[in-house]
Amino acid sequence: MPSVFETSPTATPIIFVTKSSWDQVAETLPPAQRQFASASAFAAKPGGYLALPASDGAIAQVLFGLEDAGARSRDLFRPGALPGLLPPGTYRFANEPHDARLAALAFALGCYRFARYRKADRPEVRLVPPDGVDAAEIERIADAAMLARDLINTPSNDMGPSELAAAAQALAAEFGASFACTSGEDLKTNFPLIHAVGMASSRAPRLIDIGWGDPEHPKVTLVGKGVCFDTGGLDLKQSSGMLIMKKDMGGAANVLALARMVMDAKLKVRLRVLIPAVENAVAGNAFRPLDIFTSRKGITVEIGNTDAEGRLVLADALALADEEKPDLLIDLGTLTGAARVALGPDLPPFYTNDETLAADVARCAVKENDPLWRMPLWLPYDAWLDSKTATITNAPSGGFAGSITCALFLQRFIEHAKSWLHVDIYGWTPSAKPARPEGGECQAARAIYALLSERYA
């Protein structure tokens, strides 16, 4: 991605104002600019924008409204709206926003446009990095987030299992990582759940495996759900539920974004990335309700619902990851509607039994403005997974605690990892917000990268 940052002695200043600070700021403006702001009815409301003219007709400076410091809610990504408002040019922050680092990141993220199928030029704006802000780190994070967005936004006809594998292979090649891919019938023996979910599609399922870093460093393994399209299988979704199922590989996209950050920053980890890439299709050979499969781990799984396929493909990948006894095992997936009912699209739940990890994740989520909320691995609900004919079912009957029972299902496949983190993301922004356009979104990856940076910088 082209850099959004550059230094310029003539950069146009952006003055951040709030309702409480506006009168004081207005007094510092030249009389003509103050009069122009008054005539324009500029009110310093959050998101309010006004370009103030110089005597020669050029833009002298820009006013942009933020929430007051004591406001009930503040959008720290509010400056991400600026790239869509500013004329072409280079700008600088003339005063401190609520958080200069997050404001600079928001500015970079606000430059994103998905332009694969129609002309959508990125805004021709640049920002002088604020004092004390690491521009290279901001661009590292922004570039990775844009990778996740691009992958999710690409429709399934151009982002099937093979295309997702190609994107992963390109990322591995960029950073000198190893790449392996097991596909089709070769999955049947060692990864039967991945094979079962993907076997009805004309596009063969795959297990993508990337390795990077010094083998002597702590082992960190990332697993991402890569369901490139989800019809629901024989338990077919309604058309409204199928509409944005191109995003069902959002876990894989965000795992690749996180891996990009880790490798680009050269964190001291032995990184492994596993992505089960499948299409959950409908055909005569599709897996059926009440079918039973023996997973890689040896646990027999009864299919309670073919639309609970994400946990199936993750289960085999997690079992493989767990065999290596990683220091930290992390999985991301767009898994349950129950998580959205509980917490909405912006706030993914996360699960772990590691109290230190939980506290670190929650703290980094706040610091990075990458919201996450801890949910319990409530063991009394584990009995709901019991099956009369197999070890467990993938979809307990009833509609209670769906995100929790999904996490408990995945926990059955983890035995040796020193620490495990599961995140049930949405991977999509339903309506545009500053720095977050409608469409595919990078969720949880920035917070987890912050955590890994603290531990393994």
Question: Do 119 and 188 share a domain, yes or no?
Answer: no
Q: Is the same domain home to 129 and 151?
A: no
Task: Give the model's pLDDT for residue 49.
Answer: 98
- 3-state SS track over 85-154: CCCCEEEEECCCCCCHHHHHHHHHHCCCCCCCCCCCCCCCEEECCCCCCCHHHHHHHHHHHHHHHHHHHC
Kindly report the average pLDDT of the chain as a whole number: 97
pLDDT tens digits, residue range 244-303? 999 999 999 999 999 999 999 999 999 999 999 999 999 999 999 999 999 999 999 999
> Can you give the pLDDT at residue 190?
98
**Shared-domain flag, residues 287 and 241:** yes
Is residue 114 a part of any domain in this protein? yes
Helix (H, G, I), strand (E, B) or coil at 424: strand
If asked whether residues 188 and 81 sit together in one domain, one would say no
Phi, psi angles (nearest 5°) of residue 181: -145, 125
User: Is position 318 within any domain?
Assistant: yes
Based on the residue annotation, tell me whether 206 is a catalytic residue of this protein. Answer: no
Same domain, 164 and 224: yes
Task: Select which of 219, 247, 311, 412 is catalytic.
Answer: 311
Residue 141 lies in a domain: no
Given the residues 122, 237, 367, 374, select the one marked as catalytic: 237
Q: What CATH number did the domain enclosing 42 receive?
A: 3.40.220.10
353 lies in the same domain as 415: yes
In order of 244, 345, 364, 387, the CA distances from 338 in angstroms are: 17, 11, 24, 21
Q: Can you tell me the distance from the alpha carbon of 66 to that of 64, in angstroms, rounded to the nearest whole number?
A: 7
Tell me the C-alpha distance between 421 and 406, whole Å. 13
Last residue of a domain, one of 133, 161, 191: 133
Ranges of beta strands (E only) in 162-247 are 178-183, 206-212, 219-224, 226-230
**Is 258 buried (19+), middle (13-18) or exposed (0-12) by CB count in 10 A?**
buried
Q: With bands split at pLDDT 50, 70 and 90, how would you rate the model's confidence at 202?
A: very high
- 59 and 199, same structural domain? no
Which residues touch 186 (CB under 8 Å, ≥6 apart)?
A: none
C-alpha distances out from residue 210 to 135, 161, 357, Å: 28, 15, 24
pLDDT of residue 153: 98
Q: What is the pLDDT of residue 362?
A: 98
- 204-242 tens-digit pLDDT: 999 999 999 999 999 999 999 999 999 999 999 999 999
In this structure, what token pair is assigned to residue 122?
């990125």
DSSP 351: E
Cα–Cα distance between 182 and 190 in angstroms, integer? 10
Query: Taking phi first (over 0 means left), then psi (-120 to 50 degrees means alpha), and beta for anything else, what does residue 288 get?
Result: beta
Give the residue among 67, 71, 141 at the shortest CA–CA distance from 104: 141
- Long-range Cβ contacts of 40-46 (<8 Å, 24+ apart): 43/19, 44/17, 44/18, 44/19, 45/19, 46/75, 46/78
Residue 16 carries which DSSP code?
Answer: E
Is 5 contained in some domain?
no
- Concerning whether 388 is annotated as a catalytic residue, the answer is no
Give yes or no: residues 189 and 273 share one domain.
yes
Residue 1 pLDDT greater than 80, yes or no: no
pLDDT of residue 120: 84
Residue from 370, 113, 376 nearest 261 by CA:
370
Backbone phi, psi, residue 294, to 5°: -90, 115
Q: What is the torsional sign of CA 39, 43, 44, 49?
A: negative
Last residue of a domain, one of 82, 107, 133: 133
Query: Could you tell me if 308 and 452 lie in one domain?
Result: yes
Q: How many CB atoms lie within 10 A of CB 351?
A: 23
- pLDDT tens sequence across 320-372: 999 999 999 999 999 999 999 999 999 999 999 999 999 999 999 999 999 99
Q: Is residue 139 part of a domain?
A: no
For residue 2, pLDDT beyond 90: no
Alpha-carbon distance values, 226 to 156, 284, 296 (Å): 12, 23, 18
- Quickly state the pLDDT bin for 310 (edges 50, 70, 90): very high
Count of domains observed in the chain: 2
Q: Residue 121 — pLDDT band, cuts 50, 70, 90?
A: confident
- Domain-embedded: residue 6: no
Same domain membership, residue 215 and residue 96: no
Closest CA to 235 of 203, 204, 183, 200: 200
d(CA 108, CA 91): 12
Within this chain, do residues 90 and 163 fall inside the same structural domain, yes or no? no
Q: Which residues share a beta bridge with 165?
A: none
Coil, strand or helix: which one is 176?
coil
Domain boundary among 106, 133, 160: 133
Kindly report the number of other CB atoms within 10 A of residue 372's CB atom. Answer: 24
Task: Average the pLDDT over 407-414 and give the result.
Answer: 98
Q: Is residue 2 domain-resident?
A: no
- The CATH number given to whatever domain includes residue 304 is 3.40.630.10
Let me know: does 308 contact 406? Beta carbons within 8 Å. yes
**Domain co-membership, 208 together with 308:** yes
pLDDT (0 to 100) of residue 71: 92
- Residue 241 domain boundaries: 147-456
Give residue 285's pLDDT.
98
For the record, the structure tokens of 426 come out as 């949405």
Of the listed ranges 1-10, 16-25, 141-150, the least confidently predicted one is: 1-10
For the chain, what is the total number of helices (H) and then of strands (E)?
13, 19
Question: Can you tell me the distance from the alpha carbon of 354 to that of 326, in angstroms, rounded to the nearest whole number?
Answer: 14
Reported pTM: 0.97
pLDDT of residue 399: 85
